Amino acid sequence: MALIEFDVIIPAGGTISKDFAKVVNTEKKALIAMVSNTLLGNTIECLRAMPGTRRIVVIGNEMVRRATHSVDQVLPEAETGPKNIFNGLRWLSQQNEPAEKVLIVTCDLPFLTVDALGRFLALCPNDKDFCVPLIAHDDFAEAFPSAEATFVKMKDGVFTTGCAYLATPKAVFAAAPQIERVFENRKSKIGMARMLGPKFLLGYLTKSLTVASVEQKVEQILGCKAVAVPGSPAELAYDIDYIEDYHYALQTLKLKASASA
**Band of pLDDT at residue 219, cut at 50, 70 and 90:** confident
Helix axes 198-205, 211-222, angle to 10 degrees: 160
The mean pLDDT of 184-198, rounded to a whole number, is 55
Higher model confidence: residue 119 or residue 199? 119
pLDDT of residue 64: 95
Residues sharing a CB contact under 8 Å with residue 237, sequence separation 6 or more, in sequence order: 133, 135, 140, 149, 160, 161, 162, 163
Higher model confidence: residue 188 or residue 260? 260
Number of Cβ within a 10 Å radius of residue 18? 8
pLDDT at 259 over 90: no
pLDDT of residue 77: 92
pLDDT of residue 185: 52
pLDDT of residue 181: 64
Residues sharing a CB contact under 8 Å with residue 258, sequence separation 6 or more, in sequence order: none
Average pLDDT for the chain: 88
pLDDT at 202 over 50: no
Span 17-50, pLDDT tens digits:
999 999 999 999 999 999 989 999 999 999 999 9
Higher model confidence: residue 156 or residue 247? 247
Q: Which helix (H) or strand (E) holds 67?
A: helix 62-67
Q: Residue 97 phi/psi, 5° resolution?
A: 50, 65
* In the chain, % of residues over pLDDT 70: 87
pLDDT at 248 over 80: yes
How far, in Å, CA of 140 to CA of 233, rounded? 8
pLDDT at 189 over 70: no
Span 152-175, pLDDT tens digits:
888 889 999 999 999 999 988 887
Q: Where are the alpha helices (DSSP H) in 94-240?
A: 114-123, 137-143, 169-174, 176-184, 189-195, 198-205, 211-222
Higher model confidence: residue 260 or residue 139? 139
pLDDT of residue 100: 94
pLDDT at 127 over 70: yes
Span 41-93, pLDDT tens digits:
999 999 999 999 999 999 999 999 999 999 999 999 988 888 899 999 999 99
pLDDT of residue 208: 64
Query: In terms of Cα–Cα distance, which of 107, 105, 108, 120 is closest to 234?
Result: 120
